[in-house]
Amino acid sequence: MEKVPQHLEDKLLLLIDGELTAAEAKGLEAELKVNTSLRIRYDELRSLHLSLKSAPVEHPSKNFTQIVMGKLDHYPRSSANFSIRSILLLAGVLVAVGIAAVLVSAGVFDGASTTIDLNEMELSKKYIDRSLPLIPLNGKLIVNIIIILNLGLAWLVLDRAILKPLFQRRLQSGH
């Protein structure tokens, strides 16, 4: 079945509502006899219209507004109190990131590099016959990775501790 164009569907709705002129209604009814997909869509819209028309309309009670307004005071107001523990955690993370960034920029970790010799491990001698490679460790790189992880943690704490409650409060108040 092909889709009925929007302008024809609008005309079908006007026909169902009885808002077309006699000439327009006659022309559309002639087209309904020829076009099968248009006739199927008309039958669907007409049955939907009839079912909606026959459904009873429910009305709220006369004192609905008074009941709702009377219960407004029973719900607690949301406050802007953020968890002090979360704020302290965020501040601690930011202080640690700041100190680490200052130490990296001062070059404290430039000389901190070492290598890990896997051949010195007892397990490697029992199970592996060949010599294993040396793994170089750069102190500056490790501290930079720790700084990046701390910044990710700071963003997470900022989101959960401050931004999420703030936006939930704004959403509840309707702003």
Please tell me whether residue 18 adopts helix, strand or coil conformation: coil
pLDDT at 90: 81
The better pLDDT of the pair 19, 84 is held by 19
- Collect all residues with Cβ–Cβ distance below 8 Å to 12 and sequence separation of at least 6: 4, 28, 38, 41, 42, 45
Check whether 151 has a pLDDT greater than 70: yes
Contact status, residue 79 vs residue 165, Cβ threshold 8 Å = no
Check whether 24 has a pLDDT greater than 70: yes
Nearest 5°: the CA angle 83, 88, 92 is 150
pLDDT at 44: 92
pLDDT, mean of residues 83-101: 82
pLDDT, mean of residues 58-80: 76
pLDDT at 133: 80
pLDDT at 123: 67
pLDDT, mean of residues 75-103: 75
Check whether 28 has a pLDDT greater than 50: yes
- Collect all residues with Cβ–Cβ distance below 8 Å to 35 and sequence separation of at least 6: none
**Residue 65, Cβ density class (10 Å: 0-12 exposed, 13-18 middle, ≥19 buried):** exposed
Q: With a threshold of 0.75, does the pTM exceed it?
A: no
Please tell me whether residue 5 adopts helix, strand or coil conformation: coil
